[in-house]
Chains A and B, each alone.
Chain A
């Protein structure tokens, strides 16, 4: 008997390969967008140093040569791409230290905050979303929907200040010496904003799943409305939730910018704001480039996870 060629497997590989190429192209395009928008709009970054009296004309000229800014733009672009491939993000304008090193130093502060924030967002988002879909017409469901909507309307800066304010008052009531904000409060603040969108997608996806024929069939088979039923409805509802979570994970970075400012924490967000205000563009460029690459690959892995989880998505694209 001639073995039947496994067509679904090749199809799967083709889908994955196409997504990989797409991801790489998007990352490259985003990196280029960052490079050109900064270079074209910012003009000569050494001008800033000159006008602030931080460098003489000759020093500025030397810096331009050292940074390779005297070369034509296309050559600078090629050099930038080449350096990026080697993990070299250039030098800070002010301290002349490698941008990669500066970012690496601050990375550990932000990754802890981001992971804790994401964990909180998932916990709250899933709870709210499931509650909103499961008890939909009832008060519990309606209040869950309301809280979901509210959390997307609150600016991170305000929730941060509100949480800080409450913590200050509570700690005064308990007459605690000094306020230890630790990781928990910033993580809550960071997570609340992402909990809203996650909750909304969990709700929508689960609701759609609950109204589908296979749930009706499960009812007909006598499955009660309990945890097993929830899981039955929940698994097919997961792929959109996973891809949104990947999106939110990448967006958390812009949230950390504000959270770190409010709680006066060190980290990548603080670094970004500081470098923008100081005009230290290589650092800002490095951070945005890394964010774009991170975003593209988190999207990519989410899509791949969805392909693995849900056979229906394999056929499309």
Chain B
């Protein structure tokens, strides 16, 4: 019972945030990048949640933050899933050397913790939000490859795959018509878990200032910008932190729902 309700609340939370992210320019009372008054004011008529250290409206920044955080983490996850799934499909359907090569590659990538791998890529390309997205996407790939390969591998030896092969089905046909549909629930749960990871990873990198742009209205960057004012205005960093945590918790909850269904 509790689990069902937790799942529903998670879906509602994510649904609301996605809506907010889409309609951010309509909802936000002010421009998130320009000052509207005195720095660090208490909540009032002009700024419902107060202003940040540069006099920008906190509420507007949080609303636009939903947009930046969701799009960047979604993009990172798409890279992870797109790259990881196509590689593990290739490896499972072709098998043999291709499979062993991919497993070796994934294990090598896994020898560097995902976040460090991402930071290494930022070190190579230089700070910036696109770099962070690419880095988180690639940094999560080895883990995704390893797990998705083991999922797909458990279906490749099924009777219907052998039957399809006997009827002359090619690798692509087996992958699209047999492997993906059968493994879909597990792959969906895995991708959701990786989405939660990407959310944590992206906000962590932006928190560390690796997005390059300190004015960026993104939750991770705001968490960093606000922490100097923990005494005067704790909401500046606590609110984005709470939003990140609740969102990651909700994604995990949804993933668990996929897992058990």
Contacts and interface: CB of A to CB of B under 8 A. Distances in A.
B209 A277 contact: yes
A55 interface: no
A165 interface: yes
B241 A162 contact: yes
B121 A251 contact: no
A166 to B, nearest CB: 10
Contacts of B112: 30, 33-34, 288, 291-292, 295
Contacts of A38: 120, 123-124
B19 interface: no
Q: Classify chain A's interface size.
A: 35 or more
A5 B237 CA distance: 67
A243 interface: no
A155 B238 contact: no
Contacts of B109: 30, 33
Interface string A252-263: 011001100110
Contacts of A209: none
Contacts of B120: 34, 37-38, 284-285, 288
B210 A157 contact: no
Majority SS at the chain B contact face: helix
B46 to A, nearest CB: 26
Interface string A135-158: 000000000000001101111111
A253 B113 contact: yes
A201 interface: no
A131 interface: no
A45 to B, nearest CB: 10
A277 B116 contact: no
A296 B111 contact: yes
A253 B108 CA distance: 18
A41 interface: yes
B252 A291 contact: no
Contacts of B204: 155-157, 258
B24 interface: no
Contacts of B207: 155, 157, 258, 261
A273 interface: yes
A272 B255 CA distance: 33
Nearest to B126: A279
25 contacts: A26-B111, A30-B112, A33-B112, A149-B252, A153-B248, A157-B223, A157-B224, A158-B223, A158-B241, A161-B230, A162-B241, A164-B227, A164-B230, A165-B238, A168-B230, A168-B231, A250-B113, A253-B113, A257-B119, A257-B208, A258-B207, A272-B119, A276-B127, A285-B120, A295-B113
Given A161-B227, A250-B113, A258-B208, 10 more contacts: A33-B108, A34-B112, A42-B123, A149-B249, A158-B223, A258-B204, A262-B227, A276-B119, A277-B210, A281-B124
Interface of A: 26-27, 29-30, 33-34, 37-38, 40-42, 149-150, 152-158, 161-162, 164-165, 168, 250-251, 253-254, 257-258, 261-262, 272-273, 275-277, 279, 281, 284-285, 288, 291-292, 295-296
